[in-house]
Amino acid sequence: MRRLLLVNALIFAVLAAAVTLAYYGYSYATEVSYREAELASLRELAADKVFSVESSILRDDDKMFRALDRHLSGTAAPLQIEELVNNLGIHLVSVFVLDDKQTLVPGGYVSQRRDKEGNKEGTEFRDWFMKEVLPQLRLHQLPLRERAHLHGTWEGKDYLWSMIKRSWGDKVHYIVIEEDLAHLVGVIFPQFFPFDNGHAKRLFEVVDQRGELVYTPVTFSFGSDASSVDVSFVDSVDGWSVRVTEVPDKEAQKQVERKRLIDSLFIGGAITVILTGLVFLALAIRRERRANELKSEFISNVSHELKTPLSIISMFGEMLANGRTKGPEQATEYADIIWRESVRLGRLIDNVLDFAKIERGKGVYEFSEADVGEVVERAVDLVGRRLTTAEMAITVDIEPELPLVKLDGNAFTLAVMNLIDNAIKYAAGGKKIELTLAKKTIDEKERLVLSVRDFGPGIEPAEQDQIFERFYRARAVRLKPIRGSGIGLALVQHIARAHHGDVTVTSEVGKGSTFELWLPIPDQK
């Protein structure tokens, strides 16, 4: 009954654990899709920013190209780019105007670049550009009037070149602008990506192709937990990206951490419950399979046990009936055999019936106050004849004035008889059985202990627990022609436990076994 309750509770717990896991699976999937939507909106924001920054660069380039257009298309000569750059208020480092042969037109180079002393640079940079950079710009491949750009590193420094091909009449010109990256990072980015610490919901930064920060408005990091996305520049500083990071809300973060902890506890608990359930199930299946194997063995054992005394009874009965006896003495002997075997048969049937009742879980005990000593003596009396037949002696030592206990006399007698019977059956060679009933201290409590000791073959240590299982018979016994069904000790254990006691065995192979059946003494229950 208790086992059934336990199984039901376990099934319920496993179901609850499965529901918990399903819930977490569902909420995780929802969270993932919510997070994806969040990231998509961040990506949109970053793309917007990229667009704005690049539009501002393109606008300035356009201004420059258009202004040069006016000059180049007119007849005004020579070209005064420097003036133009200053007038337009555009931030750039240098401008190159080249003819169709890609040579500089007169006055076609202007630079804002200054040396360390603040003096205007000489022709060094111009010459370097013509030699190292110009060939890589592939100006001749440019489509007419379409702005192109190249972002890259030369001699360890970042450069951004914007270029265009123009034609006036039959004249073709190329214009190349060296953009002011220092201005871009130092002025433009801060304009587009400000950060109001404490209020801002998002942080915008710029990273290069290696993921290293090119620009950040803050001096700290939110850690790897904060969600962020990168969107690359496409029309200017290619390879650089705008990185948007969701600024974590401290309070919300704490709540998330708390929730995460609780979630892990629940998920861990659910997994443990399911695993425990599985282990329990595996054990139960193993147990059940073993019980089934033992049960079929039991059926053949019992049938055998029923058949043997029956055939003896019918054989000797027939001899008596036919008068095939040598005299009255032999007739008495035959009758004695018939009586002994029928008693044995009766006991086996009693055992099987009681066992069946217990298996069905029916209340089979009727308790009343009794003197255990008397009950034990009665049991010894009942097996007396068997002892004589087996040529064994029993010594009975019962402590006087033992307290009365509540017990089921019939069940207890059956238990004692089973223990003595086993000693007769298995320890016949030992000749002697010692039975004592006395008060003893077990687990610091005084108990009433019945001990049945024999001097037989003993029981292997590995099997000393198993012999109390229903249908179990020790390996050594199964090989011998000793009759048994494997339910005797299971019954003894059930009876002992029903009396709030228990039965134990201490045994040494080759020396004998002592079975101790103990009962609690009433006021200590």
According to CB under 6 A, which one of 14, 175, 477, 503 is a site residue for ligand ADP? 477
Would you say 20 or 485 has its CB closer to ligand ADP? 485
Exposure string of 489-524, with b = 16+ CB inside 10 Å and e = fewer, is: bbbbbbbbebbebbbbbebeeeebbbbbbbbbbeee
For residue 230, the number of C-alpha atoms closer than 13 Å in the C-beta half-sphere is 15
Q: How far is the CB of 22 from ligand ADP (least distance, A)?
A: 47
- Residues in 36-95 that interact with ligand ADP by CB under 6 A: none
Would you say 110 or 423 has its CB closer to ligand ADP? 423
Q: What is the dihedral of CA 33, 34, 35, 40, to 10 degrees?
A: 90
Q: Does 358 bind ligand ADP (CB under 6 A)?
A: no
Q: How far is the CB of 435 from ligand ADP (least distance, A)?
A: 12
According to CB under 6 A, which one of 206, 467, 517, 519 is a site residue for ligand ADP? 467
Q: Does 486 bind ligand ADP (CB under 6 A)?
A: yes
Would you say 178 or 454 has its CB closer to ligand ADP? 454
Annotate 338-374 with three-state secondary structure.
HHHHHHHHHHHHHHHHHHHHHHCCCCCCCCEEECHHH
- Residues in 334-353 that interact with ligand ADP by CB under 6 A: none
Q: How far is the CB of 486 from ligand ADP (least distance, A)?
A: 4
- Residues in 161-190 that interact with ligand ADP by CB under 6 A: none
Would you say 108 or 430 has its CB closer to ligand ADP? 430
Instruction: Supply 199's token pair.
Output: 């209020």
Would you say 20 or 513 has its CB closer to ligand ADP? 513
Q: How far is the CB of 515 from ligand ADP (least distance, A)?
A: 7
Phi, psi of 486 (to 5 degrees): 80, 10
Give whole-number Cα distances, 492 to 212, 296, 304, 484, 501, in Å. 80, 21, 22, 15, 11
Considering only 4-12, 56-64, 172-180, 485-493, which stretch makes contact with ligand ADP by CB under 6 A?
Answer: 485-493
Q: How far is the CB of 473 from ligand ADP (least distance, A)?
A: 3
Report the Cα 412 to chain-centroid distance in Å. 49
Number of residues lying near ligand ADP (CB under 6 A): 22
Phi, psi of 508 (to 5 degrees): -130, 130
Instruction: Supply 448's token pair.
Output: 């009433």
Considering only 103-111, 246-254, 289-297, 479-487, which stretch makes contact with ligand ADP by CB under 6 A?
Answer: 479-487
- Asked if residues 512 and 458 have their Cβ atoms less than 8 Å apart, the reply is yes
Would you say 233 or 472 has its CB closer to ligand ADP? 472
Would you say 61 or 454 has its CB closer to ligand ADP? 454
Q: Does 380 bind ligand ADP (CB under 6 A)?
A: no
Q: What share of the chain is helix, strand, coil (3-state, %, to 5)?
A: 55, 20, 25
Q: Does 489 bind ligand ADP (CB under 6 A)?
A: yes
- Residues in 505-524 that interact with ligand ADP by CB under 6 A: 513
Show the site string, 447-466: x = touches ligand ADP by CB under 6 A, - = not.
-------x-xx-x-------
Considering only 71-79, 144-152, 284-292, 471-479, which stretch makes contact with ligand ADP by CB under 6 A?
Answer: 471-479
- Residues in 403-432 that interact with ligand ADP by CB under 6 A: 418, 422-423, 426-427
Tell me, what DSSP letter sits at residue 403?
P
Q: How far is the CB of 324 from ligand ADP (least distance, A)?
A: 33
- Kindly report the CA angle at 136 between 130 and 138, in degrees rounded to 5? 100
Strand 393-398 relative to strand 432-442: parallel, antiparallel, unpaired?
A: parallel
217 by Cβ neighbours in 10 Å (0-12 / 13-18 / 19+) ranks as middle
Long-range contacts of 499-506 (CB under 8 A, 24+ apart): 499/405, 499/406, 499/407, 499/408, 499/412, 500/525, 501/447, 503/415, 503/468, 505/459, 505/464, 505/467
Q: How far is the CB of 261 from ligand ADP (least distance, A)?
A: 53
According to CB under 6 A, which one of 484, 494, 501, 520 is a site residue for ligand ADP? 484
Q: Does 473 bind ligand ADP (CB under 6 A)?
A: yes
371 by Cβ neighbours in 10 Å (0-12 / 13-18 / 19+) ranks as middle
The H or E element spanning position 307 is: helix 250-321
Would you say 334 or 426 has its CB closer to ligand ADP? 426
Would you say 244 or 474 has its CB closer to ligand ADP? 474
Identify the three-state secondary structure at position 523: helix
Q: How far is the CB of 444 from ligand ADP (least distance, A)?
A: 28
Identify the three-state secondary structure at position 162: strand
Tokens 């871009």 locate to 184
Phi, psi of 35 (to 5 degrees): -65, -40
Positions touching ligand ADP (CB under 6 A) are 418, 422-423, 426-427, 454, 456-457, 459, 467, 472-474, 477, 484-490, 513
